[in-house]
Structure 1
């Protein structure tokens, strides 16, 4: 998903091409929400229902209400993530209530990792993690297609070597 929007620098004509995360990440997170909520619903409804009486089985509604709320929050969070490759740096923007925008200069990157856990691999996803000298500026882009993650890793590594800050 690519959209053109102003990058907020105030420079006329300076457009940043933002890329959103693929929908596979949202599907994976929502499936995990449903799976864990299902287990929690059974535990909160079945156990009290058997041990304390059928009226206590209504406790199963609490995890279901939380899951409905979580479903909506996951969608909002997924839409908030985006990244942009610019000439001298990489921008990563995320957050719904508290917006966070990370700017990582290519010359400051020390390591670019592509990781994929078992659940991510099942959904065909990978995570790109950028490491810099300052631990506070490490940045992550989750839920990318593995081919895009590798392309981004190779491009960032190439640009990082070309613009090395001499650290």
Structure 2
């Protein structure tokens, strides 16, 4: 599902930057130099939850989309450049155009479009699982003994899906 969401992210971006659309044409006209990158990553934003005893209410679980250079810089890669053959000023200009014109629409799609519903459900599940893990540290829970065991055999894909199919798409 994560690989499928990454493919959908590329398709969403591709539709937005397509030069035959009004937005895409405006975006391409705004660029400088001969190199630009629109490589992006979907990353979780902090969830807002309310707990009461053994109850969890997930109020918000937004996802964010970052450009590769933003993502890499946050992780300590001081040499995070998408177009090293281009001046830093031109690269920053091109990334700024993408962040202003395209990225907000991509973030909106990831957080509301039906195409990303499975991804949002997975993130909600992750938020709930983290809460359950924390709860299991402080009290006995039904599944507390299997947390962090690393046995995922029961959850292996049994369908016809192959990662290579998504990669090829």
TM-score category, normalised to shorter length: under 0.3
More helix by percentage? 2
**Larger relative contact order (Cα-Cα within 8 Å, sequence gap ≥ 6):** 2
More strand by percentage? 1
Tell me the TM-score normalized by structure 2. Answer: 0.26
